[in-house]
Amino acid sequence: MPAFIDISNQRFGRLAVIERAEQSGRNTMWRCRCDCGRETIVQANNLRRGASKSCGCLNAEWRKSYFTTHGHANKGHLSPTYQSWKGMLNRCTNPNGYDWKLYGGRGITVCDRWRHSFENFLADMGERPVGYSIERIDVNGNYEPDNCKWIPLGDQVKNRRCSKRLD
């Protein structure tokens, strides 16, 4: 039987060893507190060889960062900011879209910086505040940083293109 090695009060990755928990066959188990605040019980050999570095939160964080680039489209849920970006792109680039004729159909475009990168859009506009919508300051201008801002939905309906009457 291997000699007992006391690893109490040691740190392994995000895990701080609190106390010996139990013996499971040949493996000594240790109660650990993770940096995230959760407690877990881990085999001593997994701690010493680096196989266990957290309670599982490290793996969850890695998966989230690996499968998302910006965190605004997770598990089918789109953030309000991401929804605004997708809607803007659809209005200006999809001839089959509901509002195409009012946007892309009359020449309104999305700048290259935003069309190809949600991250750039987010950096320039920031998070969409609750109850707000994107507005083009010049209603005949394009979607670009100098021509867009977030405004309350109630104010958005007041901003309609002026049609010139010829009579």
% of the chain at pLDDT higher than 70: 83
3-state secondary structure at position 119: helix
pLDDT of residue 109: 96
% of the chain at pLDDT higher than 90: 51
As a whole number of angstroms, the distance between CA 132 and CA 126 comes to 12
pLDDT band at 69 (very low <50, low <70, confident <90, very high): low
Q: Which of left, alpha, beta for 124 (phi over 0: left; psi -120 to 50: alpha)? A: alpha
The string of pLDDT tens digits covering residues 128-166 is: 999 999 999 999 999 999 999 999 988 876 766 554 434
As a whole number of angstroms, the distance between CA 17 and CA 149 comes to 51
Average pLDDT over residues 81-95: 93
pLDDT band at 18 (very low <50, low <70, confident <90, very high): very high
As a whole number of angstroms, the distance between CA 112 and CA 104 comes to 14
As a whole number of angstroms, the distance between CA 63 and CA 33 comes to 22
Question: Does residue 31 surpass a pLDDT of 90?
Answer: yes
Q: Distance between alpha carbon 27 and the CA centroid of its chain, in Å?
A: 40
The whole-chain average pLDDT of the chain stands at 85
The string of pLDDT tens digits covering residues 91-136 is: 999 988 888 899 999 999 999 999 999 999 999 999 999 999 999 9
Return the half-sphere exposure (C-beta side, CA atoms, 13 A cut-off) of residue 153.
7
